[in-house]
Amino acid sequence: AAGAAVDAGTPEARARLPLAGVPLAIKSTVTLDNPVVTPLLAAGAVPVGVTAAPQLCTWGMTDSDAHGITRNPRDTSLSAGGSSGGSAAAVASGMVPLAVGDDGMGSLRIPAAACGIVTIKPGPGVVPTRLSGDNWGGLAESGPLGRTVGDVALALSVMAGRPELARTGPVPGGTRVGLSVASPIRLGRDLVRVHAPWVRAAREAASLLRAEGLVVVDTSLPSPRDPILYLARWTSAVARAAEEENLPLSAMERRTRHHALLGRTVFRRGGAGDGDTRWNRGVRALRADVERAMDSAGVDVWLTPALADVPPEATDWHRRSWGRSLWASMRFSPFTPLANVLGWPALSVPCGSTTTSAGRTLPTSVQLVGRPGSEATLLALAAVIERAGVSQRTPGGAGAS
C-alpha cells in the first residue's frame, strides 16, 4: 500500500517525500502502525520485509527455532550480532538501504558494528519508541540502521520529526572528545579483553578527528560501582517484556527462561522498580561518575571501540546454555550497555578493518556516546570519520539519501 501511494503521487509530490520509494526493513518487534515507523511510511519509505530477532531481544546473537540463524553478510561463519541482527544483515547485504531496529543494551550498535554499517540509538524522547516491557524498563530506544551516516541522519530526522537532524555537520565549535579503549566491565580487573583491531579502530578514529582540528584526550570510562548492575538491569528488562507479552516460561528457550527467572528474582527483591532501589541508586551513582569523569577531562563525547572482538560464530545459540549465551554476548560487546543505563544517545560507525579466521575482511567500528540532546553532534563527528574514507561500504550499494 505504501508503494502504491508513492507510485500514484505526482512527480512534484514525490519530490517532497524525503524517502520516496526507499525500501525499508522492519524488525519483528515493531509493527507497521508503531509511531517510529509511521513517519517513515509517510515520508515515502516502502516496507519490504520483517527482520529476525532473538527471543525477547535478549541476546547479542540472532538465532531461533522460528527463523534459524542470522548470518553475517561479511563472513557467513559469524553471527550478524543482535538483537537487531536481521535488520543489520539486511542492510549490510544490500537487500535494503535502511532498516528499523531497537536498542536495549546495544541491540542496534552491536549488529551494526558486527556487519560494518551505521546506526544511532537516540536518547529518550527523541523518537516515539513503543516497545514491550515499558521500553525494556526504560533501557530501549528505536532507531535506524543504514550504510552511511547521511542515510541514518535522514531516517532519524524523519522518525523524530526534526529536519535539522538530517544535517551531518559541522561539528559544534569547542567539542572535545574523550578516547577510552579499556573495557568498562571490570571486577577488580578487566573481565573482557579488547582485541587489537578494535583498539586500533578507536585510535585511528581519534587521529582522524584530530586531523580535523578537534581535541581528543585519552581518558577512561568509569565502571559501575555495583558489579552486577548491568546484569540486573538486563535480566529485569527481559522479565518485564515477557510478562507484558504474556509469554509463558514453557514457551521460552532454556537460556531465555533462565534470564527471565533471574529478572523476576530482581523484581521480587525490590531491585528494579521505581524509587530508591539498589539498582536505581547504582544508576544514579554511575551517571554521577561518568559526568564527573567527563567534566574532569573537559570532554563532551566519549569515543570507544564499538566491540571488543569479532562477533561469535553463527550457530544455534538458542539451544545452548544460559551461561554460554551470556558470556558470548558479553565477551564481544562490553562497551554498549553504558549508554542504555544512562539514557544517553550513542552511535556506531565503521572505521578500519580486520581479517576474520575465515580470511574475510570485516569492518571494525567505533562508538560515540554523548550527553542527552547530543544526537546532532554525534552524527557530525561520525560524518568526519566516514569522510576520511576508512569505512567499508557494501560494494555497489546505493544509499537512501
DSSP 242-303: HHHTT--GGGS-HHHHHHHHHHHHHHHTT-SSSSS-HHHHHHHHHHHHHHHHHHHHT-SEEE
Cα 144 from Cα 146, distance rounded (Å): 7
**How crowded is residue 12: how many other Cβ atoms within 10 Å of its Cβ?**
7
Is 83 among the catalytic positions?
yes
CA-CA-CA-CA torsion for 167, 170, 172, 178, nearest 10 degrees? Answer: 100
Residue 30, Cβ density class (10 Å: 0-12 exposed, 13-18 middle, ≥19 buried): buried
Order of all β-strands in the sheet with 46-51: 46-51, 23-27, 98-103, 141-146, 118-121, 346-355, 361-370, 301-305, 176-179, 215-218
Is 107 among the catalytic positions?
yes
Of these residues, 64, 79, 107, 325, which one is catalytic? 107
Nearest residue to 325 (alpha-carbon basis) of 261, 260, 259, 262:
259
- Cβ neighbors of 183 (< 8 A, separation 6 or more) are 190, 191, 192, 193, 194, 308, 334, 335
Using the CB atoms, write b or e for 282-299: b if 16+ within 10 Å. Answer: bbeebbeebeebbeebeb
Q: Which amino acid is at 190?
A: D
Of these residues, 64, 79, 83, 391, which one is catalytic? 83
Q: Reduced to 3 states, what is the DSSP secondary structure of residue 15?
A: helix
Cα 313 from Cα 194, distance rounded (Å): 18
Nearest residue to 340 (alpha-carbon basis) of 89, 21, 57:
57
149 and 168 in contact (C-beta within 8 Å)? yes
Residues with active-site annotation? 27, 83, 107
